[in-house]
Amino acid sequence: MTVPNTRIIKPLISGDNAPGFEELVEKASRTFGFLNLTILAWRAERGSLVRIYSTHPADYPVGGEKVMPPEAEWLQTVIIGQRPHTLWTADEIKRYYNDANEILAMGAGALLCVPVISEGKTLGALNFINKGYTEKDLKAMQELAPRAVASFEQLREEMDVHKETPVQG
């Protein structure tokens, strides 16, 4: 595992959390907990992930974007391979993330990312940070991910409508 060569675009202020994920966030909190949860949408046309939901928007603002090279391990695992990316220890987090100090300052000891998949396509990912996780927690995360599909698809439809609608002046 190596730190991927990524470009991070951080907005000056956080946008609003995308609607429709509240039930998923509550279920995750009750089932296995988290110190931080971010939800990322995959934008294939840009080769990037856009943060659409954050439980800590001051540190991880909605609207932030991470551009990764196609060969990045995370991208190959989660987006292309449609498998979880698992960092079970603080040492793994240090070796993998440029902002590891910020992540560890939250009390993180594990960081697990689970793809959200619909009809064979990866829509994005759920990223969970906590003091520690187990294989049982990972299984619960994978079972929870399909609950995000409807909200992702609704958001994509709204974005497509806005993209096609000309601005009237």
Both tokens assigned to 79? 């987006």
CA distance 116 to 125: 5
Report the half-sphere exposure of 38 (CA within 13 A, side-chain side). 24
Q: What is the topology classification, in CATH, of domain 7-161? A: Beta-Lactamase (3.30.450)
CA distance 169 to 163: 16
Q: What is the pLDDT of residue 160?
A: 55
pLDDT tens by residue, 135-157 = 999 999 999 999 999 999 988 77
pLDDT tens by residue, 44-60 = 888 899 999 999 998 89
Q: Quote the distance between the C-alpha of residue 84 and its chain's center.
A: 11
Is residue 64 helix, strand or coil?
A: coil
DSSP E strand stretches across the chain = 7-9, 36-43, 48-54, 65-67, 85-87, 110-118, 121-130
pLDDT-above-90 percentage for the chain: 66
Q: What is the pLDDT of residue 25?
A: 97
Look at the block and give the residue holding tokens 């594990």. Answer: 110
CA distance 105 to 118: 34
- What pTM value is reported for the model? 0.88
